């Protein structure tokens, strides 16, 4: 039974990525021991699904298409910063966060209806910027990101993403969309 490592995400447009990339470029000199996420791979994960069989993928696609059709496009922006312990640096998501959480919950429900397990913890919208191999003091980076307020953008498509570990430059993960659905409240 062949399968793929999948997750469901929203992706910011190029102008928003470029703006955030310019802000993050200044941070790279503050902490050398981080693996920085590549801007072309930036996304907002709604649900991580792990390994999914080809058979389940078809059912999942139908469920995700239905979920996307029940949610309108969202106005979002990035700003500020945060960290998960001493290992992950991220930027916050602002805008229609309640609607974003509802969409993430609908995506998780679609996955469960397809027979997939999903995380049970509350959804925390963020975009991962960097990871530490060990422990790093990320507080100066979070402080440096505090004043950042990015431009608003409209998330209007839901993406089922294939994650190939080690397939990107320097052995990083490569994330590719395999299916997309418009967000369009019917």
Q: How confident is the model at residue 1 (pLDDT cuts 50, 70, 90)?
A: very low
Strands 74-84 and 3-10: unpaired
pLDDT for residue 29: 77
Rounded distance between C-alpha atoms, residue 112 and residue 105, angstroms? 11
Say how many C-beta atoms besides its own lie within 10 A of residue 117's C-beta: 10
Question: What is the assigned CATH class of domain 3-182?
Answer: alpha beta
Which tokens belong to 104? 């993430």
Q: Tens digits of per-residue pLDDT, 69-119? A: 999 999 999 999 999 999 999 999 999 999 999 999 999 999 999 999 888
First to last CA, the chain: 36
pLDDT for residue 167: 47
pLDDT for residue 90: 96
Whether residue 47 contacts residue 118, with contact meaning beta carbons closer than 8 Å, is answered with yes
Q: How confident is the model at residue 186 (pLDDT cuts 50, 70, 90)?
A: low
Please give the DSSP secondary-structure letter assigned to residue 114: T
Q: Tens digits of per-residue pLDDT, 164-184? A: 765 445 545 667 889 999 999
Rounded distance between C-alpha atoms, residue 48 and residue 31, angstroms? 28
Name the helix (H) or strand (E) containing 93.
Answer: strand 88-95
pLDDT for residue 170: 53
Q: Tens digits of per-residue pLDDT, 8-45? A: 999 999 999 999 999 999 888 776 678 888 899 899 99
pLDDT for residue 166: 52
pTM of the predicted model, to two decimals? 0.89
Name the helix (H) or strand (E) containing 13.
Answer: none
Phi, psi of 138 (to 5 degrees): -90, -5
Rounded distance between C-alpha atoms, residue 96 and residue 118, angstroms? 23
Rounded distance between C-alpha atoms, residue 157 and residue 180, angstroms? 6
Rounded distance between C-alpha atoms, residue 164 and residue 176, angstroms? 8
């Amino acid at each position: 039974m062949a399968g793929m490592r999948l997750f469901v995400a929203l992706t910011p447009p190029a102008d928003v990525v470029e703006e955030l990339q310019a802000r993050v470029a200044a941070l790279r000199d503050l902490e050398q021991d981080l693996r920085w996420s590549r801007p072309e791979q930036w996304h907002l994960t709604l649900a991580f699904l792990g390994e999914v069989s080809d058979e389940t993928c078809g059912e999942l696609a139908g469920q995700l298409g239905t979920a996307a059709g029940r949610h309108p496009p969202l106005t979002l922006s990035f700003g500020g910063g945060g960290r998960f312990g001493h290992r992950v640096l991220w930027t916050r998501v602002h805008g229609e966060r309640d609607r974003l959480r509802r969409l993430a919950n609908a995506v998780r429900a679609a996955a469960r209806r397809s027979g997939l397990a999903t995380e049970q913890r509350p959804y925390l919208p963020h975009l991962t910027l960097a990871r530490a191999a060990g422990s790093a003091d990320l507080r100066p980076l979070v402080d440096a990101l505090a004043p950042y307020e990015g431009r608003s953008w409209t998330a209007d498509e839901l993406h089922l993403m294939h994650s190939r570990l080690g397939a990107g430059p320097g052995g990083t993960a490569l994330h590719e969309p395999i299916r997309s659905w418009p967000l369009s409240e019917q």
